[in-house]
Amino acid sequence: MARETGKKIRYAVIGQGYISQAAVLPAFAHAEENSQLVALFSSDAEKRRELGEKYKLEHVYPYEDYDRVLRSGLVDAVYIALPNSMHRDYTERAARAGVHVLCEKPMAVSEEECEAMIAACKQHQVKLMIAYRLHFEEANLKAIALLREGRIGEPRIFESLFTQQVEEGNVRLRKELGGGPLPDVGIYCINAARYLFGTEPIEVSAFAASRGSRFREVPEMVSAVMRFPEDRLASFACSFGASSVSSYRVIGERGDLLVEPAYELAGTLIHRLTIDGKADEIKFRKRDQFAPELIHFSQCVLEKREPEPSGQEGLADVRIIRALQRSIETGRPVSLPPFERVRRPDMTLEMRRPPVSMPELVNAAPPSGK
């Protein structure tokens, strides 16, 4: 066991965009029990210098050194926070070097890429985890628990919004990098519907719309409907051209749970639970959602356990994103074939709580760079 042996998993963080600077790099301070930041990669010499200094790292590299450094034995694992279209390549190269992979979501831009990543990690016997931070976040874990306990009765309807303004020049507006509101923010709504209902959708339909020159390559927004087993329906809207909203609601036969904010990286998440007409509000203090991911992944590597959220979980969302994109392209609903997905045994408070600490968030200031 990590805590017993004192052994720590040594990480390199790949890509120094917003998420790395705002969340991943600072999280290592809360994951010291089994995780250590030893290196970072960036194409930007200025970022390498600044961040290397800030985190007291002697190992800061441009991407050209990726294979060499990974093969040198300096790191045990990489945290991949690159544009979505680069996830597959950097995952496969890490796997070939025998380095474990914790990869940002969406896992990749197609099912084929996800499957190739899963196969490469299996072949080279490295662990692969997809960084769904909300699988380690108390308000969301508690929401799952409430539904499983039947507090709102049989869940019938899921509805969600995740919107924000993304300005011209942001990489998330570039199609060839795998950008767009569906893979970037819509994935939260899709993942939430799946973890709250605990099943996989069987049919999806979506409309997209765009206004303004920012949205030349990716749509401004998408509104979607998803049909789930047990005759449940889910709908959501996601956007890069509207004011910030993040919420979801599950309406059951005798009550409903509204979570808002629901998906925030650094905010107080709030439940409003209404049962038989009586409403209660529960606030969840903001906590570091990334440190628990690091701790869990390191623990899985050390104990040779399969991490969760797995590559299968990443693939489950990517195939839905692709189905929604096909629906937008063809103007027709798209049926999804059955997908055997183990019901995330780890994504419960009971499983996450004992091994995974949930430290208070101390550093979530926006980064200086992008």
Nearer to a second copy, 332 or 343 (CB): 332
Please report how many Cα atoms fall inside a 13 Å half-sphere around the Cα of residue 70, on the Cβ side: 25
Distance CA 13, CA 258 (A): 35
Cα separation, 132 vs 344, in Å, equals 12
Candidates 47, 79, 90, 105; catalytic one: 105
- Reply yes or no on whether 188 is catalytic: yes
Among residues 165 and 268, whose Cβ is nearest to a second copy? 165
Per-residue interface string for the shown chain with a second copy, residues 124-163, x marking contact by CB under 8 A: ----------------------------xxx-xx-x-x-x
Q: Which of 6, 169, 331, 354 binds a second copy (CB under 8 A)?
A: 331
Q: Does 242 bind a second copy (CB under 8 A)?
A: yes
Long-range contacts of 215-218 (CB under 8 A, 24+ apart): 215/173, 215/240, 215/241, 217/173, 217/174, 217/175, 217/176, 217/179, 217/180, 218/172, 218/173, 218/174, 218/175, 218/179, 218/180, 218/181
Q: Which stretch binds a second copy (CB under 8 A): 60-68, 170-178, 180-188, 202-210?
A: 202-210
Q: Contact between 237 and a second copy (CB under 8 A)?
A: yes
From 83-91, 110-118, 137-145, 230-238, span contacting a second copy (CB under 8 A): 230-238
User: Of the ranges 26-34, 231-239, 282-290, 303-311, which one interacts with a second copy (CB under 8 A)?
Assistant: 231-239
Contact indicator for 244, 181 with CB cutoff of 8 Å: no
Task: Please tell me whether residue 220 binds a second copy under the rule CB under 8 A.
Answer: yes
Residue 280: how many other CB atoms lie within 10 Å: 9
The window from 186-194, 224-232, 294-302, 337-345 that contacts a second copy (CB under 8 A) reads 224-232
Residue 366 is a binding residue for a second copy (CB under 8 A): no
Report CA dihedral (337, 154, 327, 219) to the nearest 10 degrees. -130
**Known catalytic residue at 105:** yes
Q: What does the DSSP 8-state code read for residue 261?
A: S
**Sheet with strand 269-275: strands edge to edge:** 278-284, 269-275, 255-259, 241-252, 155-165, 232-239, 221-228, 203-209, 334-335
Residue 338 CB, shortest distance to a second copy, in Å, is 18
Q: Helices 138-148 and 187-197 meet at what angle, rounded to 10?
A: 40
Task: Report how far apart the first and last C-alpha atoms of the chain are (Å, whole number).
Answer: 38
356 scored as a contact of a second copy (CB under 8 A): no
Nearer to a second copy, 115 or 203 (CB): 203
Report if residue 203 touches a second copy, rule: CB under 8 A: yes
> Residue 271's beta-bridge partner residues?
259, 282
- Residues acting as catalytic residues: 105, 188
What does the binding site for a second copy look like in residue numbers (CB under 8 A)? Answer: 152-154, 156-157, 159, 161, 163, 165, 203, 205-207, 209-211, 220-225, 227, 230-235, 237, 239, 241-245, 249, 251-256, 274, 277, 331-333
